[in-house]
Amino acid sequence: MADLWCIDRLGYFIEPTVIITSNPRFKTMDEEIFGPVLTIYIYDDNASDETLELCAITSPYGLTGAIFASVRQTIIKMEQRLSYAAGNFYINDKPTGAVVGQQPFGGSRSSGTNDKAGSKTNLLRWVTPRTIKETFDSSRNYGYPYMLGK
Query: 74-113 burial string, b = 16+ CB within 10 Å, else e?
Result: eeebbeeebeebbbbbbeeeeeeebeeeeebbbbbbebbe
Q: In this predicted structure, what is the pLDDT of residue 25?
A: 87
> If you average pLDDT over residues 18-25, what whole number do you get?
90
Query: Within 13 A of 54's CA, how many CA atoms are on the CB side?
Result: 15
* Cα dihedral across residues 109, 85, 27, 34: positive or negative: negative
Q: Is the per-residue pLDDT at 16 higher than 90? A: no
**Would you list the domain boundaries of the chain?**
61-131
SS3 72: helix
Q: List, for residues 117-145, the tens digit of each pLDDT value.
A: 666 666 776 777 667 676 778 777 777 77
pLDDT, greater one: 108 or 91:
91
> CA-CA distance, 138 to 118, in Å (whole number)?
43
Query: Within 13 A of 150's CA, how many CA atoms are on the CB side?
Result: 6
| Residue 150: how many other CB atoms lie within 10 Å | 5
Q: Decide if 64 contacts 112 (C-beta within 8 A).
A: no
Q: Is the per-residue pLDDT at 99 higher than 90? A: no
Q: In this predicted structure, what is the pLDDT of residue 114?
A: 60
What's the pLDDT band for 65 if we cut at 50, 70, 90? confident
